[in-house]
Amino acid sequence: MAGTQATKKTFTLNTGDKIPAIGLGTWQSKPNEVANAVKVALQKGYRHVDTALAYGNEHEVGQGIKESGVPRSEIWLTTKLDNTWHHRVEDGINSSLKSLGTDYVDLYLMHWPSSTDPSDRKKHLPDWNFVKTWAEMQKLQGTGKVKNIGVSNFGIKNLEILLNDPSCKTVPAVNQIELHPNNPSPKLVKYCTEKGIHCTGYSCLGSTNSPLYKDPTLLKMAEKLGKTPQQLLLAWGIQKGWSVIPKSVSQERVEKNYEIDGWELSDSEVKELDGLTDRFKVCGDSWLPVNVFFGDDE
């Protein structure tokens, strides 16, 4: 369809705020590359940038925003509370705001449902859990420091625990999860949709050296449509109903990933990508002190 403007598309959250459908991801971006990638992205037209305290690049993201010349009020900025800061939520947001050089973020996410002990990352805090963390995050509402709060890497089991707890007064606005055709998570996406939780897909291109780039079905479709495999994967995610945050630091790829206007995948092409049978996860939970995926993230 010639008139499709995917880069102008937004998704309305349960708070009424509108999150841009495409953003720039910054996970695994090397130091000294992030600021330029953010600047290039914003100057290209992106209006959504995703970072996290754990990425160690919030300062550079803030730098890139300033250097872009794009007013802060026009940018959707997401950051995340690190696992070792669960019992210090206010300190966590203050640290992020200081690094980013901004007064507020549009979305503040609990990065993982793991309250990791800062003195020993192989251990979980004995007297804390993600339900208590969420109770603290709820207190940030109305402070002006966060416009929306949400979660990340929550499967159905942990969402049920959170939503059914009496302390949970605010349904998360977003659940940021790994989403690509080899990890499509239909049950989890359906669950979130039913609860009014918007999904953002990370590793939406399958991450660095993605096996997806060797997938014959995807490559053939890209060739037929005259698009890059990355552009097809982004269009697939947006047409499936979630926002996407492709990560790149190369100016050419950052710009190319944004060139998704004026066309869309047909229903049969979406179904063809839905039908890819290979399965892999970029991000598991074996490095955490607790399991967070129980097959309910599928």
The answer to whether 78 touches 110, Cβ cutoff 8 Å, is no
What span, in angstroms and rounded, lies between the C-alpha atoms of 81 and 43?
Answer: 28
Closest CA relative to residue 62, chosen from 107, 105, 21:
105
Name the helix (H) or strand (E) containing 60. Answer: helix 58-68
Q: 108 catalytic, yes or no?
A: no
What span, in angstroms and rounded, lies between the C-alpha atoms of 213 and 205?
Answer: 9
The answer to whether 86 touches 116, Cβ cutoff 8 Å, is yes
Q: Which of 55, 108, 191, 258 is catalytic?
A: 55
> Would you give the end-to-end CA distance of the chain in angstroms?
31
Q: What is the dihedral of CA 200, 282, 215, 24, to 10 degrees?
A: 40
Radius of gyration (C-alpha) of the chain in whole angstroms: 18
Give the three-class secondary structure for 24. Answer: strand
Based on the number of CB atoms within 10 Å of its own CB, is 270 exposed (0-12), middle (13-18) or buried (19 or more)? middle
What span, in angstroms and rounded, lies between the C-alpha atoms of 186 and 166?
Answer: 28
The answer to whether 270 touches 53, Cβ cutoff 8 Å, is no
As given in the structure block, the two tokens for residue 110 are 């609990």
What span, in angstroms and rounded, lies between the C-alpha atoms of 71 and 37?
Answer: 17
As given in the structure block, the two tokens for residue 233 are 């994967």
- Type of residue numbered 186: P
Q: Which residues are catalytic?
A: 55
